[in-house]
Structure 1
C-alpha cells in the first residue's frame, strides 16, 4: 500500500482552492445583483449574461483537459497551466467589475459579458489541470479522500472569506466603486491561491501514465462509456445546479426578504463555518462507511437545511441562519466525497488501459460542474423574472410579494428537490475500494 502524502504536499495542493473558491463564489454571489441592482439590467438578460460564458466553458473544459494531458514539461504536465491560467484569471477578474461608467446599459452589459468570457476561459485552463492532479499525485483510495478533505477545508475557508468580505467591501465603499474595489481585492486572493498551488506542488509525487491515444472525440467517447463516472457526474451536476441557485439567492434573501444590514455576510458565515469544523469528520466518516454512503448522508443533510429556509418570510432571522448552517454541514460532505470519487474513476480507467485520461475525465467533470453552477444563477434569474422582480440602478426598488416568494423558493424548495433527485443516480454508482484494488492487481 502506498504511504501517506506529506502534509506539505496536502496543504500545497489544497491552496489552489483559494483560487477556485474565490472565483466559484464571488461571481455567483455578486454578479447577478451587480447587473440587476447596480447596472439596471433586467433579470432575464442578466441571467443570460451570467450563463453564456459558463456555457462556453462546458465546451472548452474537455479541450483544456486534453491539452494538459499532452503537455510535456519538466515541472509536470499540469503545473505550468496553474500559472498560465491562474494569473490570467486574476487580471481579468479585476477588470470584470471595473467597467467605465458611460451611462449606457448596453456598454455595461457588453463589458461584463466580454470580461466574464475571458475569466471563464482562463479559469478552464487553471481548474481542469488542478482538479486532474490528485489522480497522479497518489494511487491510494483513502489518501485521495484525505487529500480532498484538506482541499475542501481550504475551499470552505475561502468561500467564507470571499463570500463574507465581498459584500462588506462593496457596501463600505458604495456604488459602482464598491464593486470595483471588491473586484480588485478578490483578484488578489485568486492570485495568492494560484501561486500557492504552483509552489506547494513542486515536490508532489507524480505517477507517470501515457496520454491516451486518438483524438479528443475518441477520448470523450471512452470517458462517456465509463458508467460509474457518468452516474457520479450526473449527481454532482444536479447538486452544482442547486448550489448555484442558492448562491445566487443569498444577496436577494438577505436584502429583500430578511431586510437586515450585513445579513449576506451572516448567511455566508453560517453556511461555511460548519464546513471548516466538520470537513475532517466527513473524511473520517467516509473512511468508515464508504464514500458513496457518506455522499448520500451529506446530501440529505444539505436538502434538509434548504427546506428549513422555506420559512424565511415568516420566521425570525435566526431560524434562517440555523437552517443555512445545516446546509453548510451537508455541503462540506457533498464536496469532499465526489471530489475524492472523481480521481478514483480516472485512476481505475488508467490502470485498466495504461493510458492517462485524467485530464479528459476532469475536463468533462468541470464542464458539468460549470454548467450546473452557471444554470443555477440562470434558473434563479428566471424565477425572479417570473416573480416580477424590479431591477434598478440604486438597489432600492420595492419588490412585490410575488418576487419575494420567488426568492424564497429559489433558495429553498428548488435546490432541495434538485439535491434529492440527484440521489437516484448516486444510488446506482458501484465503484468501491475493493474494485479498485482488483483493477490494480
Structure 2
C-alpha cells in the first residue's frame, strides 16, 4: 500500500469522476431551470424539490459508508458498489428529465421528486465507497495528492463536457423533448464513467479493511471528535454551498442577465478550461508549500473571481468571462487539496486506533458535501423568490430588475462571502505531512 501507484490505477480510479462530475454538475445546472421554466413550478417549490432528495443523502451517506466498510467480496469492499449503484444511478438519471405529460404541475413535480430521490439514493452508494478507496490504495501522503490530481483533472474535463454540452443539447432539440434527450445523453456518460472506474481498479492494491467496533452511532461520535477532520469538513461544506449557488445560477445569468445565446456553455468552458490546465500546477504548489496553504490560496482566488462576477449587469461580457475563468482557477485547487487531505485524516485515525473507519469518514464527508451542494440551489431559489422571479412553462417570462439583481448577487456576492467565511475553519486545521507519514 505504500509508494507510487501504477498509472493505470490512477487513471482507472480517476474515471469514476466522470460519473460523479456529470451527476454533480448537470442537476445543479439544469434541474432548477427545468422546474421553473419548463414545468412552470414556483421558485420556492422548485428549490424544495431540488433540496429534499439531497437532504436524504445526508442521512444515508454515513449508512452507506458503514455498509461498505463491512462488505465482504472477492473484489474488495468498495468495487462491487461502484457497479451496482452506479448503473442504477444512470437509469434513474435518464428518467429524471423524462416526465411524460401528466396533466398537472403537481403530478409532474412528484415525478421529478421521486426520480431525484432514486438518483440521490443510488449516488450515495456509489460516491461513498468511491471516495473511501484512496485511503486503502496507498498510505503515502504525497501519493494521495497525485491520485487526487488525476481525479480532479478528469472531474474538470467531465464538468467541461457535461456542463457545456447539456444546455447545447437541450437548446438544439428544444422544449421538454430537449430536456429528455439531454437526460438520456448524460445518463450514458454516467454509465461509461461507472464501468471505466470498476474495470480500471480491478488490479488496485487494496488492503484488508478492519471495520471499527461498535454501532454506527458510536462510529459517528468518534469521527465527530476528530478535530482536524471536523475543521476540514466545515470548510468544504461551506464552499460546496457556494459552488451550488453558482451552478444553479449559470443558466439564469446567461439567459436573463447576459441575454446571450450559448452563454451558459461559454461560461462553463471558461470555468473548467483553466481548471484543466492548472490542476497539476496546484498539485505541484501543494508539494512545495503544503496542502493547507495551497487550499487557502485556492480559496482566495475562487472568492476573488466570484466577487468580480458581481459586475455582470454592467460590465462587458469579456469581464464576466474573465471572472468565471478566475473562479475556475481557484475551484481546481479547492478540489485537489481537501480531497487529498481527507484520506490523511482517516489514515491517521486508523493507525492510532488499529481499526478502519474510512467508510464512515467518507460517508460523513460526502453527506456534508451533498448537503452543501443541495443547499446551494435551494438558497439560490430563495434569492430568486425574494427578487420576484417569474416562473413559466416556456422560459419566456420577462424578469423585473429585482429578479435580475437577485440572479447576479446569488451567483457572485453570496458565494464570495461564503468562501471567505469558510476560511475561519481552514485556518485552524493543523495536520501536517510529518504527522501523516512519520507518526
**Which residue is equivalent to 2:137?**
137
Q: List runs of 5+ in structure 1 lacking aligned partners.
A: none
Deviations 1:129-160 (A, max 9, x none): 00000000000000000000000000000001
| Deviation, structure 1 residue 41 | 0.1
* 2:262 is the alignment partner of 1:262: yes
Q: How does 1:229-308 map to 2 (within 5 A)?
A: 229-308=229-308
User: What whole-Å deviation, never above 9, does each CA across 1:30-72 have from its counterpart, x for those lacking one?
Assistant: 0000000000000000000000000000000000000000000
Q: What is residue 364 of structure 1 aligned with on the other side?
A: 364
Judge conservation of contact 1:92–1:115 (CA < 8 Å) in 2: yes
* 1:437 paired residue number: 437
User: Is the counterpart of residue 184 in structure 1 residue 177 in structure 2?
Assistant: no
Partner residue in 1 for 2:424: 424
Distance across 2 between alignment mates of 1:176 and 1:204? 43
Give the corresponding residue for 1:383: 383
Show structure 1 runs of 4+ deviating over 6 A: none
For 2:317 and 2:9, the matched residues in 1 are separated by 41
Residue of structure 2 in register with 1:105 after alignment: 105
Query: 2:3 touches 2:138 (CA, 8 Å); kept in 1?
Result: no
1:135-174 equivalence runs, <5 A:
135-174=135-174
Question: Are 2:170 and 2:181, in contact at CA under 8 Å, matched by a contact in 1?
Answer: yes
DSSP 3-state at the match of 2:415: helix
2:87 aligns to what? 87
Shift of 1:186: 0.1
Q: Is the 8 A contact 2:160 2:268 kept in 1?
A: yes
SS at match of 1:202: coil
1:310-321 equivalence runs, <5 A:
310-321=310-321
The corresponding residue for 1:19 is 19
The answer (yes or no) to whether the contact 1:299–1:419 under 8 Å persists in 2 is: yes
Residue 51 (str. 1) matches residue 46 (str. 2):
no
Contact 1:54 1:374 in 2 (8 A): yes
Distance 2:354 2:208 in 1: 10
| CA shift for structure 1 position 251 | 0.1
State how far apart, in whole Å, the 2-side matches of 1:323 and 1:436 are: 37
Residue 350 (structure 1) aligns with: 350
* SS of residue in 1 equivalent to 2:204: coil
Q: Give the conservation status (yes or no) of the 8 Å contact 1:209–1:354.
A: no
1:60 paired to 2:60: yes
Aligned residues: 439
- Report the Cα distance in structure 1 between the residues aligned to 2:209 and 2:183, rounded to whole angstroms: 39
Q: Secondary structure at the match of 1:177?
A: helix
Q: What secondary structure does 1:213 align onto? A: coil
Note the residue ranges of structure 2 that are not aligned, 5 or more in a row. none
Q: Which deviates the most, 83-92 or 95-104?
A: 95-104
Under a length normalisation based on structure 1, what TM-score does the superposition of the two structures give?
A: 0.99
Cα distance in 2, alignment partners of residues 36 and 3 from structure 1: 51
Cα distance in 1 for partners of 2:76, 2:143 equals 21
Contact 2:251 2:264 in 1 (8 A): yes
- Cα offset for 1:103? 2.6
**Is the Cα contact below 8 Å between 1:346 and 1:361 reproduced in 2?**
yes
Q: CA deviation at 1:91?
A: 0.2
Pairwise CA distance, 1:207: 2.1
- Find the residue that maps to 1:102 and give its secondary structure: coil
Partner of 2:40 in structure 1?
Answer: 40
Q: CA separation in 2, counterparts of 1:284 and 1:2?
A: 20
The equivalent residue for 2:216 is 216
| Equivalent position SS for 1:355 | coil
The alignment status of 1:328 with 2:328, answered yes or no, reads: yes
Q: Give SS of 1:76's match.
A: coil
Contact 1:304-1:327 within 8 A present in 2 as well: yes
Query: Does the CA-based 8 Å contact 1:387-1:405 persist in structure 2?
Result: yes
